[in-house]
Structure 1
């Protein structure tokens, strides 16, 4: 059963059963992470970022991105797994840009960190901080566009920067450091995971 492969895109790309299970596990962890909240104004601090980073680091960029994509698709079909519910209408929530950022950042973080079989802390932290920059860049741009041009609740650049970056980023910086420490300790098990 371990070597059994399941086709996910025609006959070109195949996942092992183990990869499929791990992908599902991280999808579930990301969903659970959405409900572990520390309330701060405008943008709640959750553990989604930690689990999306760990998915990219442990599963590799492609598989980590699949985990986040499945999470997004499950939320779109109506499962209330996003921070404020679910459904296709969630794309009109100002914070949806952060979820798009999680998807891309998981891929990029995993690709950068896993270029070497035993990456240094510096490489892992660099990958994590690049992922953090992707999440916040996409999240803030999306937030600004949705608020100012779609749902007609204008927000200025300074309040956006204050509430959606300055107040939120310190916790995510700590998560970058924590995930680097966890990943470095888990490197010996990666051959078993993949």
Structure 2
């Protein structure tokens, strides 16, 4: 995989934006509300599947190496056993899915980008919620049922994440065409 200097810069930029998004948070439980999904979605839209996923993987690797960039406050390999780590894994795959849907169309209109963001969000939840359940139940040893985890790890985030999908799709619809012309 050959990456140009421009692509490296944009990939690093979205990794940094995702890290910044982790610090803009509302602590509500085991997993805080953050702006990370907004930057994950924008990475997929603007960088495409391959580089969007790479930017999120870079973000996760930076945190696993010990730099405190995760919203949970976990540092290094300890982050793997934090309840929110499944969402971080989901960011990588979510950005990939969003990028794939975006790449499959010649014109990146609002509806197409919004659909891509929704699909990416679903992927993130499909990984994050079960991981949250497993960590809370098996690692933290708390007696919790899956429906409670759905409430605290999915339903509470849904309105904000749908809003982030709207914002990402609106920004993407304006910016993607400009980026394609500049490339």
Q: 1:55 aligns with which of 33, 40, 43?
A: 43
Q: Is the 8 A contact 1:36 1:47 kept in 2?
A: yes
In structure 1, what is the equivalent of residue 17 of structure 2? 29
1:3 maps to what in 2? none
Calculate the aligned-residue CA RMSD, in Å: 1.3
Aligned to 1:141: 130
Consecutive unaligned residues in structure 2, runs of 5 or more: none
Aligned residues: 182
State the partner residue of 1:19. 7
Question: Could you tell me how far apart the structure 1 residues matched to 2:45 and 2:33 are?
Answer: 21
Q: 1:153 aligns with which of 126, 131, 142?
A: 142
Q: Which residue of 2 aligns with 1:9?
A: none
8 Å CA contact 2:30–2:83 kept in 1: the answer is no
TM-score by length of 1: 0.89
Question: Rg larger in 1 or in 2?
Answer: 1
Q: Which residue of 2 aligns with 1:8?
A: none
Deviates more, 1:165-174 or 1:184-193: 184-193
Greater strand content: 1
Q: 1:82-103 CA distances to partner (integer Å, 9 max, x unpaired)?
A: 1113201110011100000011
